[in-house]
């Protein structure tokens, strides 16, 4: 096992792959980053990224520029030709879900690209969330189209990604890591690679399927917890109680850890977990009633938020303007993938409402996103708070009131930013979850 770890290829330069690649660069390792998105590669080559990550006092933008200048990091769209000198391939390409169906096309394409340059002694480490059994039964056969045998000629392993966006560098270093391989040698080689970045414990599992399944359970448990508190929120609202106060007090119990409700569950990880587990459950003839119900509850929340907003209008929806503050899938994020805000927007637009969205952390691209708070709030009949951002001063309520319409606009607070009394004292109607 006396092998080199100094030539690493990270395939997929999104919210996981980019900070992971740069984490290795910070340790002096040369990394080639690969992504099919030519615009992304063009931006990264110029030192541009919209991620909100920091390592110590340095932003990811500063780290990216330093590592490009040092030659430790290079980026490319080419998965063949530039990569033949590498002997460690880390795959962070996701498995997208659309209309409840997962697609293996991206992971298939990546596996085929690696198989064309794979050589004896190489390591392929998968760090994507996958359907249990994917690495052994789907990825391995594609890689073996190279003529090499997994576990004999090349190493194949799986390590789940466990970071939270905004804390990627810290958690790559300090979050305990799970790893397993197609055989013991593959697991050991992968663990040594991971140890370059990871200071926390690395736990080696008995099989790849254990780690694949553990990762889905981690995400799905949060989906279920959030569904539970969203149900609690409906109960509390009908009793005219603040769900946030109820949860804060309940969590003083040392064995209780309720999450907080919100406008829905967004991002790439939690909403998709159910759809990664479901195919394997169906294959085995197993029902998932709790997980199914939780997913259904959480999927219904954005439409409920939109309905609450519509019920607070004092004009016809076709004559109304509603401002959404925050478009990211969670607080202090630039990621709007599968964000609840997107569905809230669609529901309001379907009713004829003019929708403006202000979120300076999310890259421009959505037609409802505007550049300034003034443009977003001007003349609005209502405000929906969907995600906190450092650049938005939510406490400047006098300014909000000055910019919104004259006839008692509303604020719908899904993030526990406000107290009812402070909002109503300025002439707003107030609504919360």
pLDDT digits (tens, 9 = 90+) for 274-300: 999 999 999 999 999 999 999 999 999
Strand partners, 354: 321
Q: What is the mean pLDDT of the chain?
A: 95
Q: Do the Cβ atoms of 260 and 247 come closer than 8 Å?
A: yes
3-state per-residue secondary structure call for 227-260: HHHHHHHHHHHHCCCCHHHHHHHHCCCCCCCCCC
In which band, very low, low, confident or very high, does the pLDDT at 142 lie, cut at 50, 70 and 90?
A: very high
Please determine, for residue 264, whether its predicted confidence score (pLDDT) is greater than 60.
yes
Please determine, for residue 197, whether its predicted confidence score (pLDDT) is greater than 80.
yes
Please determine, for residue 4, whether its predicted confidence score (pLDDT) is greater than 90.
no
Sign of the alpha-carbon torsion through 294, 296, 298, 301 = negative
Cα torsion through 326, 327, 329, 330, rounded to 10: -10
Using DSSP, state whether 107 is helix, strand or coil: helix
pTM value is 0.92
Strands 58-59, 54-55: pairing is antiparallel
Give dist(CA 123, CA 139) in Å, integer.
Answer: 13
User: Which tens digits make up the pLDDT trace of 5-33?
Assistant: 888 999 999 999 999 999 999 999 999 99
Residues 327-347 have a mean pLDDT of: 96
Give dist(CA 159, CA 161) in Å, integer.
Answer: 7
Q: What per-residue confidence (pLDDT) applies to 80? A: 53
Instruction: Give Dmax (Cα) for the chain.
Output: 74
Q: What per-residue confidence (pLDDT) applies to 285? A: 97
Sequence-ordered strand ranges (E) for 160-312: 177-181, 202-204
Nearest to 274, CA basis, from 150, 426, 101: 101
Cβ count near 372 (within 10 Å): 10
In which band, very low, low, confident or very high, does the pLDDT at 318 lie, cut at 50, 70 and 90?
A: very high
Question: How far from 175 is each of 5, 53, 219, 260, 264, CA to CA, in Å?
Answer: 21, 16, 15, 23, 26
Domains, the chain, in order of start with CATH, read: 7-206 (3.40.50.720), 215-295 (1.10.1040.10), 300-432 (3.40.50.720)
Sign of the alpha-carbon torsion through 230, 232, 237, 238 = positive
Give dist(CA 82, CA 290) in Å, integer.
Answer: 47
Q: What per-residue confidence (pLDDT) applies to 2? A: 57
Question: How far from 296 is each of 158, 272, 277, CA to CA, in Å?
Answer: 30, 12, 15
Question: How far from 71 is each of 29, 67, 96, 108, 367, CA to CA, in Å?
Answer: 10, 6, 32, 30, 38
């Amino acid at each position: 096992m006396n092998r080199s770890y100094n030539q690493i290829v990270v395939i997929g330069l999104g919210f996981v792959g980019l900070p992971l690649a740069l984490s290795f660069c910070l340790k002096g390792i040369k990394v080639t980053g690969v992504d099919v998105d030519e615009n992304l590669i063009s931006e990264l080559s110029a030192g541009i990224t919209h991620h909100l990550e920091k390592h110590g006092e340095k932003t990811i933008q500063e780290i990216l520029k330093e590592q490009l200048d040092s030659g430790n990091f290079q980026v490319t769209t080419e998965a063949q030709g530039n990569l033949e000198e590498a002997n460690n391939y880390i795959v962070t390409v996701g498995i997208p879900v659309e209309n409840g169906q997962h697609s293996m096309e991206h992971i298939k394409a990546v596996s085929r690209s690696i198989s064309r340059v794979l050589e004896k002694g190489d390591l392929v480490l998968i760090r994507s969330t996958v359907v249990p059994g994917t690495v052994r039964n789907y990825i391995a056969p594609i890689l073996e189209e190279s003529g090499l045998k997994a576990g004999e000629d090349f190493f194949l392993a799986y390590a789940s990604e466990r970071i939270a966006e905004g804390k990627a560098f810290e958690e790559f270093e300090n979050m305990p890591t799970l790893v397993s391989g197609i055989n013991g040698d593959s697991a050991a080689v992968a663990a040594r690679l991971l140890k370059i970045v990871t200071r926390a414990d690395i736990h080696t599992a008995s099989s790849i399927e254990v780690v694949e399944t553990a990762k889905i359970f981690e995400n799905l448990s949060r989906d279920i917890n959030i569904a539970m508190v969203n149900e609690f929120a409906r109960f509390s609202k009908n009793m005219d109680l603040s769900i946030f106060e109820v949860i804060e007090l309940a969590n003083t119990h040392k064995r209780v850890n309720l999450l907080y409700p919100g406008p829905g569950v967004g991002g790439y990880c939690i909403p998709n977990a159910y759809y990664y587990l479901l195919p394997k459950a169906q294959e085995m003839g197993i029902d998932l009633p709790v997980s199914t119900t939780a997913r259904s509850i959480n999927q219904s929340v954005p439409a409920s938020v939109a309905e609450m907003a519509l019920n607070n209008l004092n004009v016809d929806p076709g004559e109304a303007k509603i401002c959404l503050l925050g478009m990211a899938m969670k607080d202090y994020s630039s990621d709007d993938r599968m964000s609840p805000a997107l569905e809230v927007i669609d529901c309001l637009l379907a009713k004829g409402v003019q929708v403006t969205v202000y979120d300076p952390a999310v890259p421009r691209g959505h037609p409802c996103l505007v550049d300034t708070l003034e443009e977003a709030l001007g003349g609005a009949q209502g405000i929906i708070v969907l995600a906190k951002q450092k650049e938005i001063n939510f406490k400047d309520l006098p300014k909000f009131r000055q910019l919104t319409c004259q006839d008692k606009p509303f604020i719908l607070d899904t993030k526990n930013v406000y107290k009812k009394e402070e909002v109503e004292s300025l002439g707003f109607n107030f609504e919360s979850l």
